Structure 1
Amino acid sequence: MSSSVWAVDPRAELSLLIEQKQNVAAFELGEKTFEEWAGDPEFDFLYGVAARKSGNHQKAIFAFERVIVNTPTNLKARIALAIAYYEVDNFKAARREFKQSILLKPRPNVVNQINKYINLMDVKILSKRERLYGSVFALYGYDTNVNSGLGDEQTELPLPGLGLIPFSFGIESDTQTQLRAQLNYDYPMTQTDTITASVAVSDTTYSEFNQFQKTSSDISVSYQGKGDEPNRSYKAMVYFQPFWLAGQHYQNLMGVMLDNVWQLDHSDSLTLSLNASHTDNQLDNLLDLNAGTVRLTYAQRKSVMMHAYSVGFAMERVDSLSIDSQHNERNVMSIGYRNNWFIQRFGMLTSSVDLLHSEHFNDDMRFRQVDNAELSFFEKRKDLTLNIGLSFNMSIAENWIWMTSLRGAFKDSNVVLYDFDKKIATTGVLYKF
Structure 2
Amino acid sequence: MKTIIFFIVLLPLYLFGSEGNVNVDLEYEKAVKSYKVKDFKSSYKIFSKIYLSKLSDADFNFYLGRSAFETGNYEVALAAFERVEMLDPTNLGNRLQMARTYFMLKMYEDAELAFKDVLENPNIPQNLKTNIELYLSKVTKVQQKSFTYATVNLDWVFDSNVNYGSLNDEYNINTGTLPSSPERSDRAIQVYADLVNIYDIGAKNGFAVKNRVKLYLKDYQEMDAYDVQFLSYTPSLLYKETKYLGELVLGLEVLNLGKVEYLRTASLSPRFEYSHSNTLKSIAQFKYQRKYFTQKAEYDLNSDHYELTYSLQKILTPRSYAQVMLTGIGERKHHGTRVDVDYDEFRISAIYANQFTAVYGTELFAEYRRRDYSDHSTLFGNTRSDNAGTAAAAINAKILKTLLFHLKGTYNRVESNQDKFSYHKYTVTAGLNKTF
> TM-score band (shorter)?
0.5 to 0.7
Q: Does the residue aligned with 1:343 lie in a helix, a strand or coil?
A: coil
Match of 2:326 in 1: 311
- Name the counterpart of 1:44: none
Counterpart for residue 178 of structure 1 = 190
Which structure 2 residues correspond to residues 195-234 of structure 1 after superposition, within 5 A? Answer: 195-227=209-241, 230-234=242-246
Matched, 1:415 2:418: yes
Alignment deviations for residues 54-80 of structure 1 (CA, whole Å, 9 cap, x no partner): xxxxxxxxxxx9xxxxxxxxxxxxxxx
Deviation at 1:123, TM superposition (A): 8.3
1:292 matched to 2:306: yes
Secondary structure of 1:146's aligned partner: coil
Look up the match of 1:258.
Answer: 270
The gaps in structure 2 that reach 5 residues or longer are 1-74, 76-100, 108-136, 166-175
Secondary structure of 2:376's counterpart equals: coil
1:409 is displaced (CA, Å) by: 1.4
Q: Paired residue for 2:355, among 327, 331, 342?
A: 342
Distance 1:387 1:123, change over 3 A: closer
- Unaligned 5+ segments in structure 1 are 1-64, 66-88, 96-121, 150-158
Aligned AA for 2:247? K
CA contact (8 A) 1:327 1:363 kept: no
SS at the partner of 1:266?
coil
Which residue number corresponds to residue 164 of structure 2? 148
Q: Secondary structure at the match of 2:164?
A: coil
Which AA in structure 2 matches 1:238? Answer: L
Q: CA deviation at 1:182?
A: 2.3
Distance 2:422 2:139 in 1: 57
User: Match of 2:123?
Assistant: none
Distance 1:180 1:123 in 2: 28
Q: Give the direction of change, closer, same or farther, for the CA distance of 1:123–1:225 in structure 2 (3 Å limit).
A: closer
Distance (Å, rounded) in 2 between the aligned partners of 1:244 and 1:231: 41
Please report the TM-score for the alignment, with normalisation by the length of structure 1. 0.63
Partner of 1:171: helix, strand, or coil? coil
Q: In the alignment, which residue of structure 2 is the partner of 1:357?
A: 370
Q: Distance in 1 between matches of 2:306 and 2:182?
A: 34
Report the equivalent of 1:426: 429
Q: What CA distance in whole angstroms lies between the structure 1 residues aligned with 2:103 and 2:228?
A: 48
Seen in structure 2, the aligned counterparts of structure 1 residues 430 and 90 have a Cα distance that, compared at 3 Å, is closer
- Give the aligned partner of residue 134 of structure 1: 150
1:243 is matched with which residue?
Answer: 255
Query: In percent, how many aligned pairs have the same letter?
Result: 13
In structure 2, distance between residues paired with 1:263 and 1:231: 5
The amino acid across from 2:371 in the alignment is S
For the 8 Å contact 1:134–1:182, the answer to whether it is kept is: yes
Distance (Å, rounded) in 1 between the aligned partners of 2:401 and 2:320:
24
Deviation at 1:346, TM superposition (A): 2.3
Say whether the 8 Å CA contact 1:318–1:326 is kept in structure 2: no
**Count of equivalent residues:** 292
Instruction: Quote how far apart the aligned CAs of 1:326 are.
Output: 4.9
For the pair shown, the structure with the greater C-alpha radius of gyration is: 1
Q: CA deviation at 1:132?
A: 1.8
TM-score by length of 2: 0.63
Please say if 1:383 is aligned against 2:386: yes
Q: CA RMSD in A?
A: 2.7
- Tell me, in whole angstroms, the C-alpha distance in 2 between the residues paired with 1:313 and 1:210: 33
C-alpha distance in 2 between matches for 1:203 and 1:329: 29
Partners of 2:212 and 2:234 within 8 A in 1 = yes
Cα distance change on mapping 1:378 and 1:131 into 2, 3 Å: same
